[in-house]
Amino acid sequence: MAQHNLFGKQGEQLAKDFLEKSGYEILDENWISGKSEIDLIVFKDRKIIFVEVKTRSGNFFGQPEEFVNSAKQKHMVIAAEEYIHLMSHQGEIRFDIVSILFDRSGNHTLKHIEDAFWPAG
C-alpha cells in the first residue's frame, strides 16, 4: 500500500476512535456506491451521519477540511442517497468532516466539523 494510503488509513482510524469515544455508533467504513465512497457512516441521536475524513501532514496548502470541495460533496450526497434508500432510513441525516492535521513531530490535532455542508437543491 502506498505511503499516502497508509497515512489516510491512520487518519480514518483516529477519526473512528474519536467518534466512538464521543458516543457515535459506527455503521459502515469505506462504504462505496458506484464511483463514490464515504469514509465513515455513523449513527447518533437517531441521525445517520456521513463523515469525510481528511488527513494532512501540513497546512501549507490549506486546512484538511478545505479539500472537501463541491465535487467531493456531490459524490458523498449521491452515495448517501443510495445508503438511505438501502437502509430505508426515514430520519434525519447530516454530513460531517473530521479534519486531522499532523505536525513534523507526528503529533496531531483533530477537528470534528458537524453539519459541514448540506446538499444543494
Using a CB cutoff of 8 Å and minimum separation of 24, what contacts does 38-45 make?
38/76, 38/79, 38/80, 38/83, 39/12, 39/15, 40/12, 40/15, 40/16, 40/98, 41/83
d(C-alpha 98, C-alpha 109), whole Å: 10
Domain hosting 15: range is 3-113
CATH of the domain at 20: 3.40.1350.10
Mean pLDDT to the nearest integer, 59-80: 86
Whole-structure pTM value: 0.91
| Whether pLDDT at 121 is above 50 | no
| Whether pLDDT at 80 is above 80 | yes
pLDDT bucket at 104, cuts 50 / 70 / 90: confident
Residue 97 lies in a domain: yes
- Residue found under cell 499532523: 102
d(C-alpha 68, C-alpha 52), whole Å: 8
More confident residue, 69 or 1: 69
